[in-house]
Amino acid sequence: MSYPDLRSTTGEAQTIVDTALRTAPPAELEPGRVYAFHTPTGVHKVDLTGDDYRDAPARKTGITTVRDADSFRTYFDKHSDVHSEVYADADRLTVTAVLDAHQPEAPRWNSHVLKLALRETEAWKQWAALDGKLIKQEQFAEFIEDHLPELLEPAAAEMLEIAQSFQATSKVDFKSGTRLATGQRQFEYVETTTAKAGQKGQLTIPETFTIGLVPFEGSEGYKLTARLRYRIVDTQLLIGYKLDRPGDIRDTAFRDVVNAIAEHLDEPVMNGTPA
């Protein structure tokens, strides 16, 4: 008695199945569902639940970054709900809103975020860069000329004259500096140019001056006091300034931004950053 080759029979059957699968008409699948199919290589899954298969996304996601309080309020008013949360981080200079924050009764996605990331203005950064440093009088004069709009007291015109005086006395030997009863500083110098060699002169400048700076883009302006600093090294005058507590002004400016946002919220702004 002869027996059929089972391996041959099985192979023929698989060929028939494969052919049937390849020649089957296409089937329309419904978006929003997950389908599983048996194939010659195993189970194949088709997931049609993603946003690519919808007319609109299932939910709002993403991080939107703005640069001032007005923009923050505009976006927040448009997309927030009663469970949205707001956090302020003074170290990072950020105010962050989680627009789809967890509800007390149920979790949510925490994936739609609004962030205010403050940026320091160029003027603030430039004044801060020279704070406490002593530089040559020509450099100091150029700096004053470049920043006349920020000078409040003495007035810009007077500070311009002072800057020009520094430039005019760049080729002299400075001997001493004294503080006058008026609160100004007076420097004694001797001319070294050929035409005026040996002639003595004086240069008087205010010991303090007031500047107005906007710490962050889109924020308010604040007054700062700058105190004159100087040193005479080998008859050359090095001069600079020391800002009076600029860190406190920076902190105040950040708090004012946070308060401007908090005024339009029903819930308080929390101190920190969201998870």
**pLDDT digit string (tens) for 235-264?**
888 899 999 999 999 999 999 999 999 999
What residue has token string 């020509």? 138
pLDDT tens, residue by residue, 155-180: 988 988 888 887 878 778 887 788 87
How far apart (Å, rounded) are the C-alpha atoms in residues 134 and 240?
Answer: 5
Query: Tell me, what's the pLDDT at 36?
Result: 82
Write down the domain spans for the chain.
Answer: 6-53, 62-117+253-271, 122-244
How far apart (Å, rounded) are the C-alpha atoms in residues 264 and 250?
Answer: 23
Ordered alpha helix ranges (H), 148-245:
156-168
Query: Tell me, what's the pLDDT at 195?
Result: 47
Query: Tell me, what's the pLDDT at 2?
Result: 53
208-213 sheet: strands from edge to edge: 134-136, 236-243, 222-233, 208-213, 151-153
More confidently predicted of 251 and 48? 251
Query: Tell me, what's the pLDDT at 9?
Result: 57
